[in-house]
């Protein structure tokens, strides 16, 4: 494939006089803007809207969509992100007019259906996590984390533990864990992993104190390993008067097999846009519901949906200890509808099978690849595993990731977790078949050979994508996030 042309911003397609919509004449008398708005809020010049016909708009966005890699076009083994297939049925359900055309200010009597859906989705998530109650408000995993940590903080405040100012986070943790604890005003105490890549119980004992508010655990951790000592961990943490936060973003490895609630966890967030197969990527809408045990229930964001004895659903706003609202209205409701549809369609047997298949696929790839690229923490993994490309030289993880793009696949997550050098974190997910996995092994085998026979082809990859190697440092330091007539795209190498 030859790199295609880059699609310019839609403004570049603008032609004076063209128009995509014909608005009817207003049926109300014209009021001078100055009468309605204060002077400072008035534009001095008309907005620079592109003048494009409908056909041009559709072609522009269709071309743009072809420049992207997505789960609908190919394999996407981006570790920790769970880029699994999103069933189209769920989109159809979310597009039903009764859901899609609902307004958040409609009265409860008119919105019993969606309230029932939210109530039942909450119950489903509680069954999977083994928790007591949940809020569906958070719009992302990271926001679920912040919500959970703020609830832990409120709990300690009410139980005279407000001098607790530390949150323990293992060095294999997802980066958002440290950020969430810090945003909530805590000091992060980093916990070194054991040689096997798990929480080191001795180190944990040494770090726990009357200053500890909580531990934040990702399980399976970012090495794809299940924390075997999880019961001992939660016991130690509780004995120290602290609480256990469970990062359940990647619950797809354990659904139907093990529940955070049974592991002694006090708070867990799940990512509907990972485990429950709702679309994600590109910063699109997500949902990171957060579930708690009964002792944290009073702190959940309000309102919660409750069901009265007569079967009526309503919003319970009367929650005096609530940490408050974390998202407008009820979160990303369209995503909640998709997750509910997924849950119903899968059933508990289907969820269990999804976990089994996710773990099987990851172990299949791990055992086929670990002869080419060592797995530093090798052994049976859960839904993902981490290879090291350090034997292939400095920068090899990046170069392999770039080269994989030439074969119509997305790159794995690279340089994460930080405790593996030249890390390639691979998560095949349960929705891929063996032919796709075998093709990935073929691609990795070929790239490994290329390192010896033709290293330049790897070092200068990708060769077939519309953008090759953008200047990442420049993009980060001087990002161009907004079109202006003067803005020019940066040269890429």
Ligand X SMILES: *Cc1c(COP(=O)(O)O)cnc(C)c1O
Say whether 386 sits in a helix, a strand or coil: strand
Q: For residue 174, give every residue at least 6 positions away whose Cβ sits within 8 Å of its Cβ, in sequence order, or none.
A: 80, 218, 222, 247, 249
Closest CB to ligand X among residues 111, 332: 332
Angle CA 273–279–285, to nearest 5: 75
Q: How far is the CB of 174 from ligand X (least distance, A)?
A: 4
Element (H, E) at 218: strand 212-218
Q: Which residue has the tokens 């209205």?
A: 329
Closer residue to ligand X in complex, CB, 167/443: 167
Q: What are the helix (H) ranges across 187-229?
A: 201-207
Name which of 93 and 178 has its Cβ closer to ligand X. Answer: 178
Residue ranges that bind ligand X, judged by CB under 6 A: 80, 140-142, 174, 176, 218, 247, 249-250, 271, 286, 288
Q: Which residues make Cβ contacts (< 8 Å) with residue 305, sequence separation at least 6?
A: 115, 118, 119, 122, 313, 314, 315, 316
Nearest-CB residue for ligand X: 141
Cβ atoms of residues 221 and 197 within 8 Å: yes
Q: Return the number of the residue (170 or 462) whose C-beta is nearest ligand X.
A: 170
Q: Which is nearer to ligand X, 111 or 275 (CB)?
A: 275
Reported as half-sphere exposure (CB side, CA atoms, 13 A), residue 212 has a value of 24
Closest of 57, 59, 34, 54 to residue 44, by C-alpha: 34
Compare residues 224 and 261 and give the one whose CB is closer to ligand X: 224
Tell the smallest beta-carbon distance from residue 416 to ligand X (Å). Answer: 10
Chain centroid to CA 189:
24
Q: State the minimum distance, in angstroms, from the CB of residue 245 to ligand X.
A: 11
Residues 76 and 432: beta-carbon distance below 8 Å: no
Q: Is 455 exposed, middle or buried (0-12, 13-18, 19+ CB in 10 A)?
A: middle
274 vs 392, beta carbon nearer ligand X: 274
β-sheet bridge partners, residue 57: none
Q: What is the DSSP letter of 171?
A: T
Q: Which is nearer to ligand X, 161 or 170 (CB)?
A: 170
In the bound state with ligand X, the residue whose beta carbon lies nearer, of 111 and 431, is 431
For Cα atoms 98, 104, 108, give the angle at the middle one, nearest 5 degrees: 80
Distances (CA, A) of 40 to 30, 35, 93: 20, 12, 44
- For residue 424, the minimal CB distance to ligand X (Å) is 16
Helices 434-453, 333-369: inter-axial angle, 10-degree rounding: 60
Closest distance to ligand X from the beta carbon of 246 (Å): 10
Task: Please identify, using beta-carbon distances, which residue of 129 and 218 lies nearer to ligand X.
Answer: 218
User: Smallest gap, in angstroms, from Cβ of residue 462 to ligand X?
Assistant: 25
- Our CB check for ligand X shows the closer of 401 and 462 to be 401
Taking the complex as a whole, the smallest distance from the CB of residue 224 to ligand X amounts, in Å, to: 11
Local structure of residue 93 (DSSP, 8 states): H
Q: Do residues 193 and 133 lie in contact, with contact meaning Cβ atoms separated by under 8 Å?
A: no
DSSP letter for 253, please: G
Q: Using CA atoms, how far apart are residues 189 and 203, in angstroms rounded to an integer?
A: 11
Rounded to a whole number of angstroms, the minimum distance from the CB of residue 218 to ligand X is: 4
> What is the distance between the alpha carbons of residues 301 and 313, in angstroms, rounded to a whole number?
18
Shortest Cβ distance from residue 164 to ligand X (Å)? 23
Look at the block and give the residue holding tokens 């990851």: 362
- Considering the complex, what minimum distance in angstroms separates the CB of residue 136 from ligand X? 14
| Distance in Å, CB of 367 to ligand X, minimum | 23
Pick between residue 430 and residue 448 the one whose CB is nearest to ligand X: 430
The separation between CA 262 and the C-alpha centre of its own chain, rounded to angstroms, equals: 24
Q: Nearest approach, Cβ of 286 to ligand X (angstroms)?
A: 5
Q: With respect to ligand X, which residue has the nearer C-beta, 124 or 289? A: 289
Rounded distance between C-alpha atoms, residue 149 and residue 246, angstroms: 11
How far is 99 from 74, CA to CA, in rounded Å?
30
Closest distance to ligand X from the beta carbon of 28 (Å):
44
Read off the DSSP letter of residue 44: S
């Amino acid at each position: 494939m030859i790199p295609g042309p880059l699609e310019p911003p839609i403004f570049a397609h603008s032609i004076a006089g063209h128009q995509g919509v014909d608005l009817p004449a207003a049926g109300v008398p014209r009021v001078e803007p100055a009468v309605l708005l204060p002077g400072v809020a008035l534009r001095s010049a008309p907005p620079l809207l592109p003048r494009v016909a409908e056909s041009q708009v559709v072609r522009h966005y269709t071309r743009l969509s072809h420049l992207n890699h997505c789960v609908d076009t190919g394999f996407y083994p981006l570790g920790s992100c769970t880029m699994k297939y999103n069933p189209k049925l769920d989109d159809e359900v979310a597009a039903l007019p009764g859901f899609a055309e609902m307004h958040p200010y409609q009265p409860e009597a008119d919105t019993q259906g969606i309230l029932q859906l939210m109530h039942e989705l909450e119950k489903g998530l509680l069954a999977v996590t083994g928790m007591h109650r949940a809020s569906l408000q958070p719009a992302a995993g990271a926001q679920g984390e912040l919500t959970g940590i703020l609830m832990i903080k409120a709990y300690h405040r009410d139980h005279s533990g407000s001098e607790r100012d530390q949150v323990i986070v293992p060095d294999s943790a997802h980066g958002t864990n440290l950020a969430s604890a810090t945003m909530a005003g805590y000091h992060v105490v980093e916990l070194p992993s054991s040689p096997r890549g798990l929480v080191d119980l001795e180190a944990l004992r040494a770090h726990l104190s009357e200053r500890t508010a909580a531990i934040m655990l990702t399980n399976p951790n970012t090495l794809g390993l299940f924390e075997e000592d999880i019961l001992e961990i939660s016991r130690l943490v509780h004995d120290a008067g602290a609480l256990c936060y469970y990062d359940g973003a990647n619950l797809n490895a354990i659904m139907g097999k093990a529940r955070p609630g049974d592991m002694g966890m006090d708070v867990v967030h799940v990512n509907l846009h990972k485990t429950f197969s709702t679309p994600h990527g590109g910063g699109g809408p997500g949902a990171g519901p957060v579930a708690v045990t009964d002792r944290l229930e009073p702190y959940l964001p309000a309102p919660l949906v409750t069901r009265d004895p007569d079967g009526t659903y309503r919003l319970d706003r009367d929650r005096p200890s609530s940490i408050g609202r974390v998202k407008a209205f009820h979160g990303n409701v369209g995503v909640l509808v998709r997750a509910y549809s997924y849950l119903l369609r899968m059933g508990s047997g289907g969820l269990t099978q999804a976990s089994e298949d996710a773990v099987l696929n990851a172990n299949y790839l791990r055992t086929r690849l670990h002869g080419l690229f060592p797995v530093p923490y090798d052994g049976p993994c859960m839904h993902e595993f981490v290879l090291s490309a350090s034997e292939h030289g400095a920068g090899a993880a990046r170069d392999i990731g770039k080269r994989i793009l030439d074969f119509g696949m997305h790159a794995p997550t690279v340089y994460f977790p930080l405790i593996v050098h030249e890390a390639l974190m691979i998560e095949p997910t349960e929705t891929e078949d063996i032919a796709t996995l075998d093709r990935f092994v073929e691609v990795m085998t070929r790239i490994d050979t290329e390192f010896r026979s033709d290293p330049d082809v790897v070092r200068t990859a990708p060769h077939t994508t519309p953008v090759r190697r953008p200047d990442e440092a420049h993009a980060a330091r001087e990002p161009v996030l907004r079109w202006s007539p003067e803005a020019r795209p940066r040269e890429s190498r």
